[in-house]
A and B are shown apart, each in its own frame.
Chain A
Amino acid sequence: QSALTQPASVSGSPGQSITISCAGTSSDVGGYKYVSWYQQHPGKAPKLMIFDVTTRPSGVSNRFSGSQSGNTASLTISGLQAEDEGDYYCSSYTSSRTLLFGGGTKLSVL
């Protein structure tokens, strides 16, 4: 099964907002409300930022928000900060009872 489709890179200036898309199919993103987003800094383990499409875990800044339309999920980061720089991955449960990750998006804060 192919990875979910994410843009390879996005960038923004401090204070701006950016959106990262995650395109799947009706067998994964579009079929279940089990989309998550992870942030990963170089050499570190991933950190859960959003689960169940829109829910933020305790301790995650409200600058991070998730949404979904059809087979595409999105992560929006508002008020960009330098510490937001890193790699972002979406994931989705699939009809095959597996978990599928996106290819990852490198966020640069200019």
Chain B
Amino acid sequence: ETGVTQSPTHLIKTRGQQVTLRCSSQSGHNTVSWYQQALGQGPQFIFQYYREEENGRGNFPPRFSGLQFPNYSSELNVNALELDDSALYLCASSLGTGGAKNIQYFGAGTRLSVL
């Protein structure tokens, strides 16, 4: 069974640039969620994709957008980067969206630094 993989592991960008982060879900999982984890904080939910459709969104501005592909892999795009966007971005996949199916299996994350 293949776990959740994310790329790249580290990324440095400057303010105003755009970034794309990638996630491959665990085998058999059709749901992907993205989280932002600032230093010393818990993961904050950005949005979730279920079968290629957005299935819920946290309190993040529209410049945070995403996609899910037919193979259930996913992208997180952030436009007009701000210094406060510096964080660890975690992707998690799950079997589905209901009950025990929504147990989140995390990737190792992408560390984004905005200078």
Say whether A associates with B. no
Q: Which residues of A contact B (CB under 8 A)?
A: none
